[in-house]
């Protein structure tokens, strides 16, 4: 059985098995009493060694098995409970070594399975009785059975290697060889290569494929809390270069050199060094990233939301700049794939270009990169923390990904204080299918219909067909993925950078019920087609049914304003409807207008979300002075945001 991480182990259970008379009990008694006795019982009860007297500071239990006193069922129970199994044989009796191969190892396979991960230590006792060693025979056995971690010859009578025996048994559990090294092939396992390659890439801060002295020193400090001297660094590089010339380039360690160096540590018996490195970067004994490393606990009260903190934003800005090799302010597909090579997979599909700002080639820019992570953090903060861990966010005893995010104040407290320090707001864009919502949402990214077509977002459509009627986005090569449900971008709301998330919600019939998840938001944008006489009544009924008594700020928007306006089949005009229900003035929008496409309507939505208690006022007529008088308390929020805003804008 393998625990999630060696750090969480409180006790190591060692089981001694072997043929009768090989000296199992004598080994245990000699360890405890530090002297040999001839009067040995058939079996001793379980021995518990406290952590303070063990080199690894881990409590250790030692269990003795005796076939004369215990049944086969009891043996099987002890095998299941053991963390490491010592198979003891007598070096003066070859048949007992043969028994290790013919009986004991097959028994372990039968009980634990052929692919079990419980390490085995071969122990040759009574070495004082012979002059020859059995190591050659044992090496053949080790090559045949990968679970055998090591072998040791000892003598209970002379006390030779007794403490070493149990130390090796501890090491086999805490720093096992099998996950790291393939004995037969004499090379690192694929899992070890993958893990160490990730460590190398994280430490390669300048992303040049080499570890220079500064990066090696930072690696040393992170893993071992101590710098390495220049002379020691040169000695390491010389050692690698002598045996692997390509392991050093420009006086820096290459990836091959780094892997070779770790292989050398194993060959020299320094497994602990590698495990220390791997544990520092989150790996458990199965060479997977541990659950607590990937997802540390984060308390989120009801009504609160999650955003990136300044520390999280700073890390992501540095990450972007590190992989933007050509310094063009965007990540081309190969650069983005290289960035996510640190992760099990790329979490972003091809439709990411339609959700965030990009350049004219559809490549994600720094503002788009941050916007995507802000969207992810808002919708699923655990996914953000998961990928921050993969991407090398600094995690140690005093720091983890929870410092990369911030939990906002609950909404009801914001409502009481009539101000908020939140920087991310959710707007639901609701309307009938075909009303122009998707084209409207792309306007947040400053895209009109011409941009959408040039990006290949319309598939075999005429220039007058709306995006919604087509119902699909194509990718840059003309494919056909679903239109994105979320679009996000930054807006400046009276000196504060706010992120507005638009969620595109299709409603096919007014009889279709909206889920609470589709209603609850910071601001609702109800969209209708001004050229369709039946379109307005649709959102009017939705407003009355779902939003009239909810206290959620709402803005009505008429799309396709470039087309001839049709009288609406409703007893109130859209303007009169807004007046009756004390809503802000009706807004109109056209995705067909040339650049610069107006973002005024999105700014109004962001402002309504930021100041929900002012939702009944005419936002278009409020002056900056009015806002200062009404929302002066928000100045504290500005001060908090300014530092990171300046950093990000400098980077842009």
Residues 67 and 137 in one domain: yes
Tell the burial category of 34 from Cβ atoms under 10 Å away from its Cβ (0-12, 13-18, 19+). exposed
| pLDDT in the model for residue 231 | 94
How confident is the model at residue 48, as a pLDDT? 93
Do residue 403 and residue 319 come from a single domain? Answer: yes
- DSSP designation for 131: S
Task: In whole angstroms, give the CA distance from residue 183 to residue 144.
Answer: 10
Task: Tell whether 227 and 158 lie within a shared domain.
Answer: no
pLDDT, position 652: 44
DSSP assignment of 471-496 = -EE--TTS--EEPPSEEEEEEEETTE
Can you give the pTM of this predicted structure? 0.82
Claim to verify: residue 251 and residue 347 sit in the same structural domain: no
Residue 60 lies in a domain: yes
Give the pLDDT score at 383. Answer: 96
217-to-30, 224, 342 alpha-carbon distances in Å: 44, 10, 21
CB-CB neighbours of 186 under 10 Å? 10
Residue 509's pLDDT is 81
Q: Does residue 514 lie in a domain region?
A: yes
pLDDT at residue 634 in the model: 45
CATH number of the domain where residue 334 is located: 1.10.238.10
Cα 244 to Cα 234: distance, rounded to the nearest angstrom: 15
DSSP at 543: I
Phi-psi region of 406 (alpha: psi -120 to 50; beta: other; left: phi over 0): beta
Are 270 and 159 found together in one domain?
no
Q: Domain boundary at 127, 158, 178, which? A: 178
Residue 569 confidence (pLDDT) above 70: yes
Tell which of 263, 291, 319 closes a domain: 291
In this predicted structure, what is the pLDDT of residue 482? Answer: 59
pLDDT over threshold 50, residue 519: yes
Looking at the structure, tell me whether residues 304 and 405 fall in a common domain.
Answer: yes
CA distance 528 to 534: 9
Same domain, 314 and 344: yes
- 50 and 168 part of one domain: yes
CA dist 105 and 111 (Å) reads 10
Cα three-residue angle 539-545-549, rounded to 5 degrees:
110
Q: Which residue's structure tokens are 């969480």? A: 8
What mean pLDDT comes out for the span 409-414?
87
CATH number of the domain encompassing residue 115: 3.40.50.300
Cβ–Cβ < 8 Å for 375, 484:
no
For residue 481, the model assigns a pLDDT of 46
pLDDT in tens, 13-65: 999 999 999 999 999 999 999 999 888 999 999 999 998 887 778 899 999 99
User: What are 558's two structure tokens?
Assistant: 């008429």
**Residue 306 sits in the same domain as residue 285:** no
By the 10 Å C-beta count (0-12 exposed, 13-18 middle, 19+ buried), 621 is classed as exposed
Q: Which of 31, 99, 101, 111 is nearest to 64 (CA)?
A: 31
142/203: higher pLDDT: 203
Query: Whole domain around residue 507: which residue ranges?
Result: 425-435+485-620
pLDDT at residue 528, rounded to an integer = 96
Average pLDDT over residues 291-308: 93
How many domains is the chain partitioned into structurally? 4
Tokens 């544990």 belong to 279
**Cis before 58 (ω within 30):** no
At residue 629 the predicted structure's pLDDT band, cuts being 50, 70 and 90, is very low
The predicted-structure confidence for 589-627, as pLDDT tens digits, reads as follows 999 877 667 889 999 999 999 988 775 444 444 444 444
Rounded Cα distance, 243 and 610, in Å: 63
On whether residue 347 sits in a domain, the answer given is yes
User: Which residue has better confidence, 647 or 150?
Assistant: 150
The answer as to whether 642 is a domain residue is no
What the block records as the tokens of 18 is 């072997």
User: Is 456 within the bounds of a domain?
Assistant: no
Same domain for 348 and 395, yes or no, is: yes
Say if 34 falls within a structural domain: yes
Asked which of 154, 178, 202 is the last residue of a domain, the reply is 178
Q: Per-residue pLDDT tens for 36-46?
A: 988 899 999 99
Q: Can you give the pLDDT at residue 639?
A: 43
Separation CA 295–CA 314 (nearest Å): 20
600 contacts: CB under 8 Å, gap ≥ 6: 587
Q: Are residues 228 and 157 in the same domain?
A: no
> By the 8 A CB rule, do 159 and 34 touch?
yes
Average pLDDT of every residue of the chain: 87
Instruction: Give the span between the Cα atoms of 571 and 79, in whole angstroms.
Output: 81
């Amino acid at each position: 059985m393998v625990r999630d991480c060696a750090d969480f182990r409180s006790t190591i259970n060692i089981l001694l098995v072997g043929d009768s008379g090989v000296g199992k009990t004598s080994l245990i008694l000699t360890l405890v009493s530090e002297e040999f006795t001839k009067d040995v019982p058939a079996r001793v009860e379980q021995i518990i060694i406290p952590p303070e007297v063990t080199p690894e500071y881990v409590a250790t239990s030692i269990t003795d098995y005796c076939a004369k006193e215990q049944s086969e069922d009891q043996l099987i129970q002890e095998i299941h409970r053991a963390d490491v199994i010592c198979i003891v044989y007598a070096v003066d009796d070859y048949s007992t070594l043969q028994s290790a191969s013919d009986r004991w190892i097959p028994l372990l396979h039968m009980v634990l399975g052929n692919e079990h991960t419980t390490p085995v230590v071969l122990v040759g006792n009574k070495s004082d009785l012979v002059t020859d060693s059995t190591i050659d025979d044992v090496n053949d056995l080790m090559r045949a059975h990968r679970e055998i971690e090591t072998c040791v010859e000892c003598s209970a009578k002379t006390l030779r290697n007794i403490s070493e025996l149990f130390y090796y048994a501890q090491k086999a559990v805490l720093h096992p060889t099998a996950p790291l090294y393939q004995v037969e092939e004499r090379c690192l396992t694929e899992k070890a290569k993958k893990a160490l390659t990730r460590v190398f890439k994280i430490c390669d801060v300048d992303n040049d494929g080499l570890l220079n002295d500064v990066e090696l020193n930072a690696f040393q400090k992170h893993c071992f809390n101590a710098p390495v001297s220049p002379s020691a660094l040169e000695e390491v590089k010389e050692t690698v270069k002598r045996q692997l010339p390509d392991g050093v380039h420009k006086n820096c360690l290459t990836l091959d050199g780094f892997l070779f160096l770790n292989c050398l540590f194993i060959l020299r018996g320094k497994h602990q060094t590698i495990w220390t490195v791997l544990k520092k970067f989150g790996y458990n004994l199965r060479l997977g990233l541990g659950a607590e490393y990937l997802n540390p606990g984060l308390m989120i009260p009801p009504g609160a939301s999650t955003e990136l903190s300044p520390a999280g934003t700073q890390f992501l800005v540095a990450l972007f700049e590190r992989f933007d090799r050509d310094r063009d302010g965007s990540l081309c597909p190969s650069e983005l794939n290289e960035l996510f090579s640190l992760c099990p997979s790329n979490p972003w599909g091809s439709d990411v270009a339609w959700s965030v700002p990009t350049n004219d080639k559809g490549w994600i820019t720094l503002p788009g990169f941050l916007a995507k992570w802000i969207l992810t953090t808002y919708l699923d903060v655990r996914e953000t923390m998961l990928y921050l861990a993969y991407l090398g966010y600094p995690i140690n005893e005093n720091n983890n990904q929870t410092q990369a995010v911030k939990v906002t104040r609950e909404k009801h407290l914001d409502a009481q204080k009539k101000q908020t320090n939140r920087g991310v707001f959710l707007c639901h864009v609701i309307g009938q299918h075909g009303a122009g919502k998707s084209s409207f949402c792309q306007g947040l990214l400053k895209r009109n219909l011409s941009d959408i077509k040039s990006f290949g977002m319309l598939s075999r459509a005429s220039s007058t067909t709306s995006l919604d009627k087509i119902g699909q986005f194509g990718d840059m090569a003309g494919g056909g993925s679903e239109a994105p449900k979320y679009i996000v971008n930054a807006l400046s709301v009276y000196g504060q950078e706010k992120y507005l998330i638009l969620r595109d919600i299709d409603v096919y019939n007014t009889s279709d019920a909206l889920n609470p998840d589709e209603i609850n938001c910071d601001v609702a944008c109800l969209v209708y087609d001004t050229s369709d006489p039946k379109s307005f009544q649709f959102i009017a009924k939705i407003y009355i049914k779902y939003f009239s008594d909810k206290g959620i700020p709402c803005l009505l928007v008429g799309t396709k304003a470039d087309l001839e306006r049709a009288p609406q089949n409703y007893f109130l005009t859209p303007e009169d409807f807004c007046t009756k229900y004390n809503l802000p003035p009706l807004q109109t929008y056209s995705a067909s207008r040339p650049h610069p496409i107006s973002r005024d309507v999105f700014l109004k939505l962001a402002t309504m979300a930021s100041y929900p208690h002012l939702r009944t006022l005419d936002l278009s007529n409020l002056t900056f002075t009015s806002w200062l008088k009404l929302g002066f308390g928000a100045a504290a929020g500005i001060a908090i945001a300014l530092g990171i805003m300046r950093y990000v804008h400098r980077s842009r």
